[in-house]
Amino acid sequence: MAVEYLCKVCRGHLNVKTSIILAAAKLSDRKHRGLIYLNPELGNYTATTHPSFHINEGEEYIYTCPICGAQLNSMKYLHLVRILMKDDEGKEFNIYFSGIAGEKCTYKIRGNKIEAKTGPDLKIYDKYFEVPDQDRKYL
């Protein structure tokens, strides 16, 4: 069984062939929207869109599930987007990546534990996930 990526709301499969397919709209101008194909390999930030839909670096995008239309941007962690990953053993993880175009950081999280993180821009968001051990019992 391969690694699968799922919508956090409808649990529909977001990966088709070799891409994760999401709908995206520019936060500052929602008419500027289209489909975006992301590389499913953690740490690979290659993104493909139709030539009519240009992604502007530094702009924030709202990502939605192309199946159910739910917003995937995190309500809890500002500027991050969350989807689910199911690994080849059926274990589930939260995958967070930046909704701001050009920011490269990815977190793979299970429960409160960071299983993997990658990207040069992690330092921007590490504060979200670095919880002192003595405070964990309150989460």
Give me the residues that bind Zn ion (CB under 5 A), please: 7, 9-10, 12, 65, 67-68, 70
Q: Which C-beta is closer to Zn ion: that of 85 or that of 105?
A: 85
Closest CB 14 distance from Zn ion, rounded Å: 8
Q: Which is nearer to Zn ion, 64 or 105 (CB)?
A: 64
CB 68 within 8 A of CB 76: no
CB of 62 to Zn ion, least distance (A): 14
Residue corresponding to tokens 């793979």: 108
How many Å apart are CA 31 and CA 25, to the nearest integer? 7
CA distances from 83 to 51, 107, 137 (A): 25, 11, 25
Least spacing, CB of residue 31 vs Zn ion, in Å: 22
Please report, to the nearest 10 degrees, the dihedral formed by the alpha carbons of residues 90, 18, 96, 74 taken in order.
-100
Beta-carbon neighbour count of residue 33 at 10 Å? Answer: 15
- Shortest CB 11 distance to Zn ion, Å: 7
Name which of 21 and 80 has its Cβ closer to Zn ion: 21
With respect to Zn ion, which residue has the nearer C-beta, 35 or 114?
Answer: 35
